[in-house]
Amino acid sequence: MASSVARTREIAGAARAVLEEEGAAALSMRRVAERLGMRAPSLYKHVAGKEEIEAELISDGFEESAAAFEEACAGAHDHLATLAAAYRAFALAHPHLYRLMTERPLPRALLRPGVEERAARPVIDAAGGDVDLARAAWAFAHGMVMLELNGRFPPGADLDAAWAAGVAALQERR
Amino acid sequence: MASSVARTREIAGAARAVLEEEGAAALSMRRVAERLGMRAPSLYKHVAGKEEIEAELISDGFEESAAAFEEACAGAHDHLATLAAAYRAFALAHPHLYRLMTERPLPRALLRPGVEERAARPVIDAAGGDVDLARAAWAFAHGMVMLELNGRFPPGADLDAAWAAGVAALQERR
DNA sequence: GCTTGCAGGCTAACGGTGTTAGCCGAGTCT
DNA sequence: AGACTCGGCTAACACCGTTAGCCTGCAAGC
């Protein structure tokens, strides 16, 4: 057999394309199936349901963001500021994926194991091992990104300045 | 006539009950109508669509949270810490409403005028008028709340400590 | 008091969603 | 050759937001 996981990856690939090109509202079983030249019910021969496809995308997102964070921090002086910039860049580059990864409780049972921890690692390191500070920094970055993605800041708001203010505050606690 | 806005408020009341008691997934036109002893299409005689009902709930949420923030800060010494606690308390008391208020771009055209600004005021005041710091603090609080609501912190995580770390960091910048 | 008009219910329906049941053809193994 | 399984398919269900069109009861105008 052509390895059932390979089919799952093909489906995830199609789903990723739909998500990035057409947005979260378009991420439907019928739309994903259409990309693969089939009908929606056929997807269920390879995948348990929509949630499994989403979990696959979320796992991919964790791996990609972890790789981006690791690369950004490699040899950087100012870990916290560098990581903050990388975090924001990832979210703005893949807004639909970032939303999928964060806006609902994680389907942890369906995620590829270890993927969540790997993405969290650079944040804890950048906080010098202080987990409370790491969580505060993560929350700050996540909050900034979501408020920006949702257009919640006023039109003329200087977001770079707000990021700088937050990062500076957190840095002083190290 | 019995003032069309009164009807709208009745509908908003039913929607609020559905949202708080049964969750966001249950907030459907049919479900709201059922609470009022009617069928879904009849709602359209009083309201333009689901988005208008949601906007009503969001306006209510802004007013309620603003009132809570104002009361909490009245006569408090440590404005930032007090406001952070009030922010978290509001979100945890009304998780579905808080999600509705924040997880998508605001339908500003449908909101009651001024409600957004009123809710933002106490945050800016607590930051001593520094809008960049205020935005950073808002992002931190929003991020903490959403990560908590989504169960993203590890089971044993000391969230009070993380809140304290973030608030302490932001306070030093005042 | 009769008539007109309309506010505010209703049912039926459309196109969309995730999902299930059941059918069937092609390829593979015995 | 026969059986079995893989992986497509159509039809359908229950739900979603929304629209069209019908009908009833009440209120205002003459």
CA nearest neighbour of A143 among B99, B145, B142: B142
Tokens linked to A98: 């970032």
* Interface contact B105, partner A, CB < 8 A: yes
> CA of A142 to nearest chain B CA: how many angstroms apart?
5
Q: Give pairs for B113-122: CB < 8 Å, separation 24+.
A: B115/B59, B115/B62, B115/B63, B115/B66, B116/B62, B118/B62, B118/B63, B118/B66, B119/B62, B119/B63, B119/B65, B119/B66, B119/B69, B121/B66, B122/B66, B122/B69, B122/B70, B122/B73, B122/B83
Q: What is the pLDDT of residues B108-118, one digit of tens each?
A: 999 999 999 99
User: pLDDT band for position B88 (50/70/90)?
Assistant: very high
pLDDT, position B158: 98
Q: How confident is the model at residue B2 (pLDDT cuts 50, 70, 90)?
A: low
Residue to substitute from A103, A117, A152, A174, interface B, most B β-carbons within 10 A: A152
CATH architecture type of domain A1-47: Orthogonal Bundle (1.10)
Residue B26 clears pLDDT 60, i.e. is over it = yes
What ipTM was estimated for this complex?
A: 0.93
Q: Which of B140, B145, B167, B172 to mutate to test the interface with A (most CBs of A within 10 A)?
A: B140
The residues, any chain, with a CB within 8 Å of residue B49's CB and separated by 6 or more, are: none
CATH of domain B57-172: 1.10.357.10
Query: Any CB–CB contact under 8 A between B3 and chain A?
Result: no
Is the CB of B170 less than 8 angstroms away from the CB of A168?
no
Put simply, the chain A residues between 43 and 102 with a CB less than 8 A from any chain B CB are 102
Domain borders along chain B are 1-47, 57-172
User: Looking at CA atoms only, how far is residue B123 from chain A in angstroms?
Assistant: 13
Between the CA of B95 and the C1' of C14, what is the distance in angstroms? 34
Asked if A173 and A126 count as a contact pair (C-beta separation under 8 A), the reply is: no
Q: Whose structure tokens read 């609080």?
A: B141
Tens digit of each residue's pLDDT, chain A (174 residues): 456 778 899 999 999 999 999 999 999 999 999 999 999 999 999 999 999 999 999 999 999 999 999 999 888 788 899 999 999 999 999 999 999 999 999 999 999 999 999 999 999 999 999 999 999 999 999 999 999 999 999 999 999 999 999 999 999 877
The CATH number, out of the four listed (3.40.980.10, 3.30.2130.10, 3.30.565.10, 1.10.357.10), of the domain defined by the range A55-172: 1.10.357.10
Please tell me the distance in Å from B152's CA to the nearest CA on chain A.
Answer: 7
Question: B35 φ, ψ to 5°?
Answer: -60, -30
Rg (CA), chain B: 18
pLDDT tops 60 at residue B94? yes
Q: Give the tens place of pLDDT for each residue, B41-81.
A: 999 999 999 999 999 999 999 999 999 999 998 887 888 99
Chain D: bases < 7 Å from a protein Cβ: 6-12, 15-21
Please give the pLDDT value at position B3.
Answer: 64
